[in-house]
Structures are given as structure tokens and as C-alpha cells.
Chains A and B, each alone.
Chain A
Amino acid sequence: MAFITANWNPLGEAFYRKTELYEMCWTLRDGLRDSLVAAAPYGGPIALLREPLRRSPSSRPQLEIYSASGVGIASFPWKSGPVVQLGWTVSDELLCIQEDGSVLIYDLFGSFKRHFSMGQEVVQTQVLEAKVFHSPYGTGVAIVTGSSRFTLATNIDDLKLRRLPEVPGLQGKPSCWVVLTQDRQTKVLLSNGLDLYIVDNTSCTAVVPPGLSPQAGSVVHMSVSFSYKYLALFTDSGHLWTGTSNLFTCLSVCLPVCLCIYQPLYLSLCLTRCRRPKSQQPSVVLMWDRLLLVAGVCNDTIQFPLEDPCVLIGELDGVRIISSTNQELLQEVPLVCQDIFKIASMAPGALLLEAHREYEKLSQKADEYLREIKEQSMLGEAVKQCVEAAGHEYDTNTQKSLMRAASFGKCFLTDFSPDQFVSTCRELRVLNSVRESSVGLPLTHAQLVYRQFYPLAIEICRYLKIPDYQGVSRVLKHWASCKVQQKDLSDEAIARAVCVKVGDSPGVSYSDIAARAYECGRTELAIKLLDFEARSGEQVPLLLKMKRSQLALCKAVESGDTDLVYTVVSYLKNEMNRGDFFMTLRNQPVALSLYRQFCKLQEQETLKDLYNQDDDHQELANYYVTASYKEKRLESRLSLLQSAVDEYNKAKNEFAAKATEDEMRLLRFQRKLDDEKGAGLLGLYWWLKLKSLAEKEEWEELEKFSKSKKSPIGYLAFVEVCMKCNNKYEAKKYVSKVTPEQKVKAHLAVSDLEGAADAAIERRNEAEMGAVLSRCSASDRLVIDRLNRARAGAAKK
């Protein structure tokens, strides 16, 4: 206990500690030298491939998978091509990236799952380097090819390859590069000679990190933190630049070890999830052949000698150091632990721990300590500190003593909520049991499940009181997904076993399990399992994928969800030939009427085919009638109606046939009348429209109508009708349009004597002048005089 601070090393204001996690269970003949090593984050498994590039066909390298504690999980000879890089996905699948750009995916137990390629051109140019990265979208792969081009796949489960733009002046591979995920975009930062570039989907931009002088030389190593927030760059002159990963802010530039002009083998950012507000300072871990160095923001460093080649794995809150013999965790000592264990600390938690220690020794000093805390009324705080610190400690004895102290302190508090205490106890028990070297990982149930420790996982879920929905159900689902892959059992047996175990646990989707069965090529089993799926919406997509389209359509119709029906229908439409498609629809009236509705709006012709196929003469006839409405030309209209008549006859609907024939006769008759009387009938129409518009006082419409064509009834009619409806204003509008012969009449109609007189005089028409005169009264002296003069003038001639 007393030596708890023995492995603490100060760095600036903080302390760093290196704790041993495991003595590795493996026995490696040649250590880690010359091997490709990949370890999954969150205490995940480790994959090892010895001498990956040895091309001699006689000796096949061995691919081995171990748990974090070095317990062998799988081992098999590597038969495929040369591997450039190994990596783990977020769901603990092993990615093996080959030189030819193909990526092979294995599960945790070394069985092959699937493969994909990073592009055809890579086969020629070869992968020079590859990186596996994690982003909010899942696990991605980035490669740089022999033609110095980068290709990215942001999410290997939804593969979309993106070839990044060319980097100017880059020959071969860059001296170093990292993948950054920022603003929902994935970019590559690379160093080439003295230049740094950021390459994204569309462009390649040169960047200069603030605060890094050109004299610092070229960047030879870079590393990005677990959360993509910070970036570290190491130059060939030994400068270490730390800043934010968007390259906006520089946190520090230092020359940590002037002596180390050799390039480090590895550079890793070690970030502490620091509880100190504002003081969140990243530190960088550098590894040389025999030296591990932690560099803080100032020139402070901590050095650890190394005996063995090691591998560093960045974690959320530290760095795991794996050597051939043991595994250690290097992290900043959490603040609360510092408070408690710092030598001569007077923090409430430290005092409480001391009090409890004295109490166990039956010393009355316990009371003194306790009083001291209580006087500051910090007992609650003290308990909290102890509980929290216990959570951060790896050693079970330390955990125990902290928890005991907390429990001791709690006795003197009346209204202290025990929730945190209880949940920490539970969590610690679980964490400790999975940290057992036989299980070999320090984390939660999800990762446990992937390792097929089902009963343990279920127990943990129940113990941690994780809601079934998130806990047990997920475990069961995973179990079922594995179960369906067991090739030695019959479909029937597996379906039964799955059904018995899973029952109707909330949140277990039978369709997911079925999908897995289908992936393994067991279609029949998948269909059996789908029968258990209560939600049709989940059944249908998989059935379609399995090409059971008829069944899919049935299920969709049963669901009563028209969207689903429509999905299937549109799928079938593309998959089947017309005839089969229509036949299928025929058996499903709901789907059929849905499709008909769609065709009515989108594809009229298809509608016709549909009715034809069904010999639905009635509907076919109706279709022709509707089509005839749209037809402007009489001949085509008549021919459509004739088709309708024929169909009505076939449908034995004599009434409709007769009615349609009547309509055709009527149309022909109308046409005849039009031809014979022509303008006459048209005129009638103009009169009707004119009158009704005026009666409804739709003056605007009327004006539009008057301009639509040359009026066959002239414009005097407009004037007169407007006046009849007492609208002189509107009437005047049409006066100017009237033919010269009618001008006088029109002016008179709107009682415009002067206008009438002008028109009459202009036309030198005596009769008209007379007509105007007859309308004049005594007050219209001027007009009368003018007219008389004009008459006299005309008479002279």
C-alpha cells in the first residue's frame, strides 16, 4: 500500500504511471521482431503475423490471434498473398490488407468471413502502406499505392472507395502520414520532404503547422490521438510539435531529447481523460529501440528503458505497451488518485483513507482524522473521492482498501446516496473478473460477447442490471448468429434451438439472425427463422435478397404496410419479365391496386397492358374513355372511343357501349354542324361565354377572353353586354376595338357623344351624323354645331 506512488513519475504538473496488466501467456520464439502485430483498442485481441513479406512459397507464415493476455485463440498458416498491414475493426474482426489491394476479413476465431478489394488498379501498382482507422462511421481502410495515390474506404461494411487527388511532387510513399476524421470528413495528412499536405476528397492543400519553424526540418513521424483531437509531429532535427489536429493551434514545440537524433520507431499520443478543467494536456510517447520516452508540453520528459522490442497501442486514456513477455498500461494518474495517494496529501479522500487505516489498527487516531474531515464538512466529498479512485485502480487490493474506506466514511453520513458506491462495486467486480488472465480483457459485456463467453456475458448483463433490451438480448442475438453457422446441425434442429433460447426476448431480431444464416448459405434455415419474426417489415428485405419474391410479396401484403408492398412491387418490376410480373400481381389484389394507382399517375401505357393481361375489358374501356378526354383532335378521339365501344361490347356492358356510341355520334354531328354553319355555331359560343362572364362580373376573364382570338361576333357585342350589366368602365375598353362601321354605335352605347360625332364626321356618313344629332340635347351645343358644319360641308361636295 505504501508504495502506491512508487511507479509514479512526475511530468510537469501531472504524474504518469506504468502498471503491469499481464504477464503474457504466450511463448514467442522470436519475440515480436520481424512480425506484423495488430492489437485492437479497448483491451482487444492481438494478431501476429510473422515475416509477412517472405515470399518463398515453401514456408508459409503463421497467423496467430491471442487475447490481450496472450492466450491463444486461433492460429493458422497464411496461404494468401503478402500482407502489408493487419488491423481490427470495431467489432473485433481482423483485417488483412494484402499487397495486391485485397482485404481479407476474418473473425476473432480465425475463420474467413469475406473479402473486398481496394480497387483494380492497385493490383498493378501494389499497396505500399496501409492503415486501419476508426471513425464514427465504423472502421475504415486507407492505402497508399505504388503510383503514390491514396485510396480510402471510410466504412468497410458499406464499401465506397474514394481515390484522393494526386499529391504534387510525391514519389513513392510519403515519409509519414495519418488519417484524420474531422467535420464528418476523412482526410489524410502526409509529409513529403519539407512539405506537409492535407488531402481530402476534392483537393490537396499544403499546410504549415503554426509555430513550427522551417528550420525544424522535415516531419518524419506523426501521430493522431485516439479521439482525433490532437496531433503530434516529429521532425528529423528532433523537434516535437504538438497541437490540435485541425492544425490551427500549437500547444508546444520542444526539443525533448537533443541527443536522440535517431528517429524513433514509434510515436504515440498519450492522452489523459483529465478531470482537471482546462489543463487537458496531451503528452507524447516516443519509442526507440531501447527507450521509451514520455514528452509533455514543456521540455519535461520521463524515460523508461526497454529490454525488448515492444508494440504500442493507443487507448482512450493511455497507451498499452506489449512486449514478448508482458503487457503494461502507461497513463496519467487520474487526478482523484493523485489527490488521495500523493505524499502528504490533505485531500478529504486521503484523510478518510488514513482514518480507516488507523481504525483497522484500532487506533484512536482514526477519530482525529475523521473529525478533521467533518470539521471541514467534507465527509461526503471524501467518500466520493474514495469511490471514484477505486474505479481507476487496477490492483484489487488498492480497490478494496479504497472501497472499505468509503464504506467506513459512509457510516457517518445520514443522507448519502449509495448509488455510486453500489454501482462502482458491481462494475469493479465485473471488470476484475474479465481482467482475469484466462479471459484476458479489461472491458465491458459487448466485447465479451464477441469472444463467445456467452454464459458469463449473460450473467454480467443481469448482474449489472443492464436492461434486457441492451444486454441479454444482444448476447442472445450474437449467440444465435453463431449457432446458425454450425454446419453439423440440421436446419430443423438449429431453428428449434434458437427459438427455444431466444423466445421472444425484447430486441432480438430474428431477421438479423436469418440474415446471418443466409450469409452462410443456409437459405432454408433463414426462411424458417424468418417465420418467427413478428414484424413483416423486417422479413421482407431479406426475403427479397434471397430471391423469394413471391413470399416477400405475401408477407408485405400481410403486414398491411403499403410502403412495404410498394417496395416489393418496384423490386419485382425490375427483376421479372412483364408477363410474370403481372401474373404475380394478379394473385395479390392489394399490390395490384397499389400498382394501378401508381401507373395512373406515372405510366398510363402500363396500365393498359395490365388490363389487357387480365382481360379486364370493362376497365380497358374506361381507360380508353379517359384517354379520349385528353385527345384534342376529333379523329383520334373518335378512334379511342371506338376502342372503348369494342371493349365495352366484349365486357357485355351494352349500356355503356351504346352510351359511348351516342357520344361518338354526337361528336360527329357537332363536327358536321361546325363545318356547315362554322362561324354561326362558334358565334353562339362567344355570345354564351360573353354573357355569362358579364353576368358573373368576371371582368378580367372577359378581357382575357376578348383578346384570346378575333371575336367572330365583333366587339360591339362586348360593349353592349357590359353596358347591360351597368359597367361603363369596362364597356369603354372595347369601344376602340369595334370595326369602323360600328364605331358610332359603340360610342353612342357608352353615351360618348363627342366620340360618336368624331367617328361619324370622319366617316362622312350623313345617316350616322343624323343618328348622333338625334341623341343630342340642347346642352350639347358644341357637338351639334360641329355636326351641322360637317353636314353642310358634305352637302357642298
Chain B
Amino acid sequence: MANSARRDSPELPDFSLLKRLARDQLIYLLEQLPGKKDLFIEADLMSPLDRIANVSTLKQHEVDKLYKVEYKPVVSTSDQLCFLIRPRIQTVKWICDVANADKAAGKFRRYKIIFTPQKFYACEAVLEEQGMFGDVTTDEWAFYLLPLDDDIISLELPEFFRDNFLAGDQRWMRTAGSALHLLHSLYGPFSKVYGIGRYSKMAYESWREQVEQGEQRARQAEIGNVFLIDRDVDFVTPLCSQVVYEGLVDDIFRIKCGCVEFSPDVTASDKSVKVMLNSQDKVFNEIRNEHFSNVFGFLSQKARNLQTAYDKRRGMDIKQMKTFVSEELKGLKQEHRLLSLHIGASESIMKKKTKQDFQELLKTEHSLLEGFEIRECISYIEEHISRQVSMIESLRLLCLLSITENGLLPKDFRSLKAQYLQSYGVDHLLTFSNLRQLGLLVEQQPGETLTVMESRVGKLVNDKTAGKLTDAFSSLAKKSNFRALSRKLNLVPKSDEEYDLRVPRDMAYIFSGAYVPLSCKLIEQVLERDGWTGLEEVTRLLNGNEFAVTGSNGAKNDAQRIILVMFLGGCTFSEISALRFLGREKGYKFIVVTTAITNSSRLIESLLDNHV
């Protein structure tokens, strides 16, 4: 695939600056509390923190012991406790409990809370309610963005999705705006900003507000255009099984903060190994975007190359050997190690995924995307539920069915739901209520009454109110309109043609040629048309909220082709692979900024409500 790359694709900006900024600020904050202190870190901040400052850096700044926040009484003996946490009420309450317990025991300590990326009033209100406002000092660590790779930046906020889309709690909108603001001030000014979705619009507005309040510095732009997209614009793509290597690894082993832990069966030893997965890993870099069916071929070719390189040793004289050892051997060894890991991982994936049932699962997904043989699909899902294959997987298929079919027939809806509850437990009732609220799993509304009413009302009242009404209606019945969109944008290629996965011809290759991801297709179209003109029908089907704003045209030609795509609510590795492909085809470089890396399991898990 490397051959097809356009030679003139522009250089990516250097995002390691973001890490340095975050580290310097953290150090500054730690030094605000002079003397030895114990640091308590929220569990989901551990990995991101590790990418910014390692233990020895922390120790240099008088951090004595490190603890994970576990909502238990603390055992620390230090007289200064520092808490590095997300702004969550539960955690703040726990800290209050800790401080109160110390008070009761007559122990005097200093407490400092560092909220990241920002503090919320609600958290401070808790401190105040608990009478801790004077005892605890608070600070903000503006650590908004973590570069996971050369072209992936994450806000590491998985809860963004549920808070915003399900609970309607928009507290993270300002965070998103600030993240954009940070990128803008370091790598901007942006020439154009496109976007679609309610929250994209809000993030855009929050960012603009911050730009207007702050100082403007003229600088050479390193990023051209920006595209903002809400996750709920396209739920289909993250619900599909991933078949590109990186996505598969994420689905099966779960990549956490750019790092994966391979279990002993992959490493063929008795312990598991943590591996960083990014472009530094040369082997991984070559296969990450490949369809899984090609990966073995690549790996075995690679193995042969490696062998040849090793073989060079034969017939070398001492001097040559010396250069070989000092220059090449280390690289080869490293490559060897990585290669064997990826081969192990691939084998493990093969074991799980080449079984008959995986093929059938894929077939069902493809049928759903195409809209063929829906009855068979429903029977497959029924069987899936009855066999209790996987609680998450069953839900995922149900959602996929509902979205692609624009809701289930009332009869099917009830029977499938009943079967699911009987199979996996009645306590999933609330989960269903969540899914319905998000429009992921809904009952078909009788007739098209809404649309008709909508257009009638629209004619009667002026545009602004009509817009509001449309919003109201669309929130009432979040229709997915997937079928219509798929036709309009040609998302499902005709299935009668052979699709050579080794030479992909479009982004559909990431789903074995069966489906072009809607999110990426939108991006492609908007960039091609330089706006939303000609896509009116599409945006109507997507419930509107699209925008395109021209900013300064500060970017030079090269930077003009660097596109920043921000996913609000998470994006999948498959989408990133698709964008990389699109970039190579069109001579763009995409930078993906996301609130978190997601996949079907994470998406569904975040909506579960079967536990307390």
C-alpha cells in the first residue's frame, strides 16, 4: 500500500510539544506544594500520566510514594497528600472522607487536589458542603491533549460519550473547546472549520469565545482545515466488527492509551508483555492499516527479510562483523522481537476469528448493512441471544439491526427484547431505556406522520421556530435514516464485484469492502466540495446542525493539506485507518483528535445500566 502514497504529502506538526507543555505545568503544580508528598492518582489517569512524566520525574519533584485512588482509607504516613484526579464528585467526596478521618484522628496534613483538565464548580461545591474548603487547596492541570501517536491525539475522556449524549450533561463542552483552543494557539490559525452535530457546534462556539477573549498571535499555521463531528452522526461504523489489524487488536486485546498487554498465549512465554503500539514500532506501522487477511502475508515476508539480514553475517570478516554488530544487530533484534509478538498476536486472533461463527457474524453484519435477508439476520441474532454468546455482542447486533433498519417492527422489538432479558437478566431493562433514548435501539413509529407534520408546521411558522421545532421532533424520534444515507452517499458498494483487499480501491476495505464508514465519507465529501453545498439532502437526513466557517487563510499550501478531524464522543481505529487511506489517496494528512478511542464494546458498555 505504501506505493500508492502520494509523494508530496505534507509533514505532520510536532505534537510532542503538547507533552512537554503538560509536563512542565505538572511540575510547576507539584512544586507549589514544597516538600515531600504522597501522590494519589486516579486509576484512569495512570496511563496518560505515564506518557507525560514517569516515576523518576515525579520523584525528582519530591513525590515520595505513588498510590492509586481506590476509595479506601489511605495508609500514607506523609504529612502532605496530593491528589491528581478527574473532576468527579465521587472522588472529591472520598478525599473529604480521608481528610475528615484524619481530623477525627487528630492528624494534621496538607491536602492539595489537582483537577485535570479543569475543575468544576460542582466539585468545589462538594468541598464546601463538607466543610473542607479551607483545608484543601485546589489547582488545575490543563492537560487537555495526549498525543497517542504522530497523528492521533486523545482527550482520554471516555465518559464524554455517556455524559453528553445520554445524560445531556454538557460539562465537557468547554473542555472540548479548550482543547481546540490549545491546538489553535499552538498550530493555528485554521483556514476553515467544518462540522456537523450539536456538540460540534457547541465546541466550536466555546472555542471561538476563548479565541476572542485571549490574545491573538500571528504565527505560521501548521494545520489547515478542521472538521468536527459528533459521534451520534454515525453510530453504524463503531458498531461494526473491526477487521483492520489495529482495530482487531483493540477489539480483542483492548489497546489502552496506545499500549496493549499481550497475554502469555501471544508471547509464547509465561508472562504477559506490554507493547506500545505506534509508528515507532516498524513492524506494526506496516500492518496496522491492513485488512487482517493480508497481515500474515506481510509478516511472513517480513520474517524472510529478517532472516536474509541475519544471514548476511555469514562470510563476513571481523571488521564487517564489528560494524554489523554495532550498527544493525540491535535494530534487527528489536525487529525480531516485535515481529514474533505480532505473529503471536495474529495467531491468537486467527484462532478466535477464523472460526465459522465469526465468518457468520461478519456475514450477518454485511447483510444488515446492505439491507438484505433481514429475517435471516433476526434469526441469527435470536440464536446469538439464546446461546448467550456475549451480552455485549448481542446488544451490539440488536443496535446495528435497529439503526440500519430505522427501528424495529413493534413485534420484533418486543420479542427480541424479551428474549434478551430472559437470557441475560431482567436488570438490563434500564440499559434498553438508555439505548432507546440514544436512538440506538428503537421501535418503528407507525407511518411517517412526523415528517409530514414537520413539513406542514415548517410552512406555517417562520424559519427560526421551524428550526427549533425540527430539533424538538428529531430529538423525539431520533431516526437514523441509514438506508437513505447509504444510497445517497453510496456507502455500500455493489456486492457482485470482487473486492481485492490487497489493493484497496476505497475506504470500504476497512470493512472487507462491504461498507464505507459514514463518518469518513462525510469528511471526504465536505473536503472535496469545500463545504456542504450539494449535501443538503444528506444533512437533512442527519438532522442538520452542519456548519462551515472560513477563518484566516494563514496556512501555506503545504499546511493547507493537513486536516484535523475532531470526533466528539470517540472514534475507532478503523476510522483512523480509513482516514489514513483517504489521506494517501488525496494527498492529505489527517490528524485525528478524539475524546477517547472507542470500539463497539466500549460504546455499548458505556450505556449499560444493569448494575448499581
Residue on A nearest B611 in the bound complex, by CB: A629
Chain A, 607-627, CB within 8 A of any chain B CB: 618, 622, 625-626
Asked if A562 contacts B427 (CB within 8 A), the reply is no
Asked if B612 contacts A629 (CB within 8 A), the reply is yes
Q: Which residues of chain A have C-beta atoms less than 8 A from B174's C-beta? A: 560-563
Q: Which residues of chain A have C-beta atoms less than 8 A from B213's C-beta? A: 535
Contact status of A626 and B89, CB under 8 A, knowing A562-B169, A566-B125, A659-B429 = no
Q: Which residues of chain A have C-beta atoms less than 8 A from B125's C-beta? A: 566, 570
Q: Which residues of chain A have C-beta atoms less than 8 A from B611's C-beta? A: 629
Question: Shortest beta-carbon distance, A171 to chain B, in Å?
Answer: 37
The tally of residues in B whose CB lies under 8 Å from a CB in A reads: 33
Neighbour of B167 across the interface among A597, A602, A655, CB < 8 A: A597
Question: Shortest beta-carbon distance, B178 to chain A, in Å?
Answer: 11
Contact status of A662 and B426, CB under 8 A, knowing A597-B167, A598-B122 = yes
Asked if A597 contacts B169 (CB within 8 A), the reply is yes
Asked if A560 contacts B421 (CB within 8 A), the reply is no
Q: Which residues of chain A have C-beta atoms less than 8 A from B202's C-beta? A: 560
Asked if A566 contacts B89 (CB within 8 A), the reply is no
Chain A, 128-152, CB within 8 A of any chain B CB: none
Question: Does A523 touch B at the CB level, under 8 Å?
Answer: no
Inter-chain CA distance A564–B174, complex, in Å, is 11
Question: Does B55 touch A at the CB level, under 8 Å?
Answer: no
Asked if B205 contacts A560 (CB within 8 A), the reply is yes
Contact status of A622 and B417, CB under 8 A, knowing A560-B206, A566-B120, A590-B168 = no
Q: Which residues of chain A have C-beta atoms less than 8 A from B90's C-beta? A: 601
Taking A598-B122, A625-B427, A660-B426 as known contacts, 18 extra A-B pairs with beta carbons closer than 8 A to each other, sorted by chain A number, are A534-B212, A535-B213, A560-B202, A562-B169, A562-B173, A563-B122, A566-B120, A593-B168, A594-B169, A596-B167, A597-B167, A598-B89, A618-B433, A622-B430, A625-B430, A630-B612, A659-B421, A662-B421
Q: DSSP class of B's interface residues: helix, strand, loop or mixed?
A: helix
Question: Does B376 touch A at the CB level, under 8 Å?
Answer: no
Inter-chain CA distance A566–B123, complex, in Å, is 11
Among B126, B213, B429, the most chain A Cβ lie within 10 Å of the Cβ of B429
Inter-chain CA distance A663–B430, complex, in Å, is 13
Question: Does B488 touch A at the CB level, under 8 Å?
Answer: no
Question: Does B21 touch A at the CB level, under 8 Å?
Answer: no
Query: What per-residue 1/0 map shows which CB atoms of B256-292 lie under 8 Å from chain A?
Result: 0000000000000000000000000000000000000
Chain B, 188-212, CB within 8 A of any chain A CB: 202, 205-206, 209, 212
Query: What per-residue 1/0 map shows which CB atoms of B80-114 lie under 8 Å from chain A?
Result: 00000000011000000000000000000000000
Q: Which residues of chain A have C-beta atoms less than 8 A from B173's C-beta? A: 560, 562
Query: What are 25 A-B contacts with C-beta separation under 8 Å?
Result: A535-B209, A560-B173, A560-B205, A560-B206, A562-B171, A563-B122, A563-B171, A563-B174, A567-B121, A589-B168, A590-B168, A590-B170, A593-B168, A597-B167, A597-B169, A598-B89, A598-B122, A618-B433, A622-B430, A625-B429, A626-B609, A655-B414, A659-B421, A659-B429, A663-B426
Residue on B nearest A618 in the bound complex, by CB: B433
Inter-chain CA distance A563–B414, complex, in Å, is 41
Q: Which residues of chain A have C-beta atoms less than 8 A from B206's C-beta? A: 560-561
Q: Which residues of chain B have C-beta atoms less than 8 A from A660's C-beta? A: 426, 429
Question: Shortest beta-carbon distance, A655 to chain B, in Å?
Answer: 6
Inter-chain CA distance A535–B430, complex, in Å, is 40
Contact status of A659 and B169, CB under 8 A, knowing A566-B125, A626-B609 = no
Question: Does A208 touch B at the CB level, under 8 Å?
Answer: no
Residue on A nearest B169 in the bound complex, by CB: A597
Question: Shortest beta-carbon distance, B138 to chain A, in Å?
Answer: 13
Query: What per-residue 1/0 map shows which CB atoms of A558-582 lie under 8 Å from chain B?
Result: 0011111011001000000000000
Question: Does B418 touch A at the CB level, under 8 Å?
Answer: yes
Inter-chain CA distance A567–B205, complex, in Å, is 21
Question: Does A666 touch B at the CB level, under 8 Å?
Answer: yes
Inter-chain CA distance A535–B212, complex, in Å, is 10
Question: Does A443 touch B at the CB level, under 8 Å?
Answer: no
Question: Shortest beta-carbon distance, B105 to chain A, in Å?
Answer: 24
Neighbour of B427 across the interface among A593, A601, A629, CB < 8 A: A629
Chain A, 526-585, CB within 8 A of any chain B CB: 534-535, 560-564, 566-567, 570
Inter-chain CA distance A563–B170, complex, in Å, is 10
Residue on B nearest A593 in the bound complex, by CB: B168
Contact status of A562 and B612, CB under 8 A, knowing A593-B169, A660-B426 = no
Residue on A nearest B475 in the bound complex, by CB: A589
Residue on B nearest A567 in the bound complex, by CB: B121
Q: Which residues of chain A have C-beta atoms less than 8 A from B612's C-beta? A: 626, 629-630
Q: Which residues of chain B have C-beta atoms less than 8 A from A601's C-beta? A: 89-90
Neighbour of A659 across the interface among B122, B209, B426, CB < 8 A: B426
Interface residues of B (CB under 8 A from A): 89-90, 120-122, 125-126, 163, 167-171, 173-174, 202, 205-206, 209, 212-213, 414, 417-418, 421, 426-427, 429-430, 433, 609, 611-612
Question: Does A123 touch B at the CB level, under 8 Å?
Answer: no
Query: What per-residue 1/0 map shows which CB atoms of A59-86 lie under 8 Å from chain B?
Result: 0000000000000000000000000000
Inter-chain CA distance A300–B170, complex, in Å, is 73
Inter-chain CA distance A567–B125, complex, in Å, is 9
Interface residues of A (CB under 8 A from B): 534-535, 560-564, 566-567, 570, 589-590, 593-594, 596-598, 601-602, 618, 622, 625-626, 629-630, 655-656, 659-660, 662-663, 666
Asked if B121 contacts A656 (CB within 8 A), the reply is no
Residue on A nearest B205 in the bound complex, by CB: A560
Residue on B nearest A641 in the bound complex, by CB: B426
Asked if B609 contacts A566 (CB within 8 A), the reply is no
Question: Shortest beta-carbon distance, A610 to chain B, in Å?
Answer: 14
Residue on A nearest B128 in the bound complex, by CB: A570
Inter-chain CA distance A593–B430, complex, in Å, is 17
Q: Which residues of chain B have C-beta atoms less than 8 A from A561's C-beta? A: 174, 206
Q: Which residues of chain B have C-beta atoms less than 8 A from A535's C-beta? A: 209, 213
Question: Shortest beta-carbon distance, A572 to chain B, in Å?
Answer: 13
Question: Shortest beta-carbon distance, B157 to chain A, in Å?
Answer: 14
Contact status of A655 and B417, CB under 8 A, knowing A535-B213, A629-B612, A662-B426 = yes
Q: Which residues of chain B have C-beta atoms less than 8 A from A625's C-beta? A: 427, 429-430
Q: Which residues of chain B have C-beta atoms less than 8 A from A629's C-beta? A: 427, 611-612
Q: Which residues of chain B have C-beta atoms less than 8 A from A563's C-beta? A: 120-122, 171, 174
Question: Shortest beta-carbon distance, A39 to chain B, in Å?
Answer: 39
Q: Which residues of chain A have C-beta atoms less than 8 A from B170's C-beta? A: 560, 562, 590, 594
Question: Shortest beta-carbon distance, A414 to chain B, in Å?
Answer: 33
Inter-chain CA distance A570–B123, complex, in Å, is 12
Asked if A622 contacts B433 (CB within 8 A), the reply is yes
Contact status of A593 and B122, CB under 8 A, knowing A561-B174, A659-B421 = no
Inter-chain CA distance A560–B167, complex, in Å, is 16
Inter-chain CA distance A601–B171, complex, in Å, is 15
Inter-chain CA distance A146–B609, complex, in Å, is 68
Q: Which residues of chain B have C-beta atoms less than 8 A from A590's C-beta? A: 168, 170
Inter-chain CA distance A564–B90, complex, in Å, is 20
Inter-chain CA distance A630–B612, complex, in Å, is 7
Residue on A nearest B202 in the bound complex, by CB: A560
Question: Shortest beta-carbon distance, A162 to chain B, in Å?
Answer: 16
Residue on B nearest A561 in the bound complex, by CB: B174
Q: Which residues of chain B have C-beta atoms less than 8 A from A589's C-beta? A: 168
Among B122, B168, B212, B609, the most chain A Cβ lie within 10 Å of the Cβ of B122
Residue on B nearest A630 in the bound complex, by CB: B612
Asked if B169 contacts A566 (CB within 8 A), the reply is no
Inter-chain CA distance A629–B174, complex, in Å, is 34
Asked if A656 contacts B429 (CB within 8 A), the reply is yes
Inter-chain CA distance A656–B174, complex, in Å, is 37
Q: Which residues of chain A have C-beta atoms less than 8 A from B171's C-beta? A: 562-563, 594
Closest 6 CB pairs of A and B: A593-B168, A663-B426, A562-B171, A563-B121, A629-B612, A597-B169
Q: Which residues of chain B have C-beta atoms less than 8 A from A662's C-beta? A: 421, 426
Contact status of A593 and B167, CB under 8 A, knowing A629-B427, A630-B612 = yes
Among B170, B213, B417, the most chain A Cβ lie within 10 Å of the Cβ of B170
Asked if B122 contacts A566 (CB within 8 A), the reply is yes
Inter-chain CA distance A403–B206, complex, in Å, is 53
